[in-house]
Homo-oligomer: A and B are copies of this chain.
Amino acid sequence: MIQVAVLGYGTVGSGVVEVIEKNKAEINKKSGEELNVKYILDLRDFPGDPYEDKVVHDVNMILDDPEVKIICETMGGLKPAYDFTKKALSLGKSVCTSNKELVAAHGPELIRVAHENKCNYLFEASVGGGIPIIRPLNYSLTAEKIDAITGILNGTTNYILTKMDREGADFEAVLKEAQEKGYAERNPEADVEGYDACRKIAILSSLMCCKNVKYEEIYTEGITKITATDFVYARAMGRTIKLLAQSKEVDGKLFAMVAPFMISRDNPLYMVNDVFNAVCVHGNMLGDSMYYGKGAGKLPTASAVVSDVVDCARHIGKVIMCFWDDEDVKVSDVSEARRAFFVRVDVAKEKEAIDTFKSVRVIEADVEGEFAFVTDVMSEKEFNEKADAVGIISRIRMEA
């Protein structure tokens, strides 16, 4: 029997306990041994909870118990999760986490500590909730040179954008509704400003490069400025607007960003709606492959944590391969990235815009008082200079 501890009995933590109990037969079979949750760490007590007798308040009870081989860190945040994780790993206890913040901030160090102590730090649940994406990158696409990863990595913003598209509603109204339904936090900043997606693409980019991509270096733009009018244009172009998290190697340079993009119907991410997430991976042999599913939620996320527990259980005392070195990758300045832009200007500026941007594709839509167009492919720097010269209403980046 393998003893497991769960740190944090919130949504994901209680999901982990539930999944291990409900799918006991399948999980024990795949683990090759029986798993048992011995401790649940939380500051609170849970009187009446079926697992109340497992709840402890002192992490040292877990760290000091040599029987505990695997720890699920579902606390979130950097403190005290970082200290608990590092101590556990240095004691040879594997840690499985859903904590994207911690993985993005200290991934390579914690992986190194794990490997030095013949145990593992796994984080399938940190990106894409229940969607298998870390393991496909590490174990499946091993014959590929991966040169681009593009994902819809945040369920809240995708829910909001889907609603805006379907109902012609404005951002604020949909956000309010999403908050009422519990799809968005009371303080929605981490989601709507793209910070959550930024952590996740930093993790995926690091695995793509086998080196460290610092999330602080990833240009991040949220969806708060997207309006119902933008969707009128999107529809007129047969497109929709999605918050994409993207990482691309172009001529040996790494470009990474989070921003709203106009994407076409041919893009496999076009059909990823509501709270669903998806990750599109481009490899030099396979081309595009996509991984789609529930990117958040108690049981999907818990399922991913438990799949890591199973992997750890099968590798007690052995290191599971993961290439994510400490060495930092230089993320290229976003101003060098090249693409086309969708632009809206006041109708009075039509001539000036055409003179400045030269070759433009005019977009006809049922909007009064505006002139809208798509530019040629150019660098962000060049675009910004021209846009500043003309004075535009707004712009959204174009993607295939």
Could you tell me which A residues sit within 8 Å of B by CB distance? 19-20, 22-23, 26-27, 29-32, 124, 130-132, 135-136, 139-145, 210, 268, 270-271, 283-294, 299-300, 302-307, 309-311, 314, 321, 323
Partner of A300, one of B210, B285, B300, B307: B285
Does the CB pair A293–B284 fall under 8 Å? no
19 A/B residue pairs, CB under 8 Å, sorted by A? A23-B285, A26-B142, A29-B210, A30-B323, A130-B287, A132-B136, A135-B136, A139-B139, A141-B303, A142-B311, A143-B309, A271-B271, A283-B303, A286-B294, A286-B304, A288-B293, A289-B291, A292-B292, A314-B321
Most buried by B among A19, A23, A285, A291: A285
Question: Considering the chains assembled together, what is the distance between the CA atoms of A321 and B302 in angstroms?
Answer: 22
CB-CB under 8 A for A32 and B290, given A19-B285, A132-B140, A143-B26: no
| Chain B residues, Cβ within 8 Å of A142 | 26-27, 30-31, 306-307, 310-311
Copies of this chain present: 2
Does the CB pair B287–A144 fall under 8 Å? no
| Chain B residues, Cβ within 8 Å of A314 | 321
Partner of A289, one of B29, B130, B139, B283: B130
| Chain B residues, Cβ within 8 Å of A32 | 321
Does the CB pair A303–B291 fall under 8 Å? no
Question: Considering the chains assembled together, what is the distance between the CA atoms of A302 and B287 in angstroms?
Answer: 12
Q: A140-B307, A143-B302 are in contact. List 11 more A-B contacts (CB 8 A).
A: A29-B323, A30-B142, A130-B287, A132-B289, A135-B135, A135-B139, A143-B303, A285-B302, A286-B293, A286-B304, A290-B291
Most buried by B among A19, A22, A290: A290
- The 7 closest A-B CB pairs, nearest first, are A289-B293, A132-B140, A143-B306, A290-B292, A285-B303, A130-B286, A142-B310
| Chain B residues, Cβ within 8 Å of A321 | 30, 32, 314
User: Smallest distance from the beta carbon of A297 to chain B beta carbons, Å?
Assistant: 9
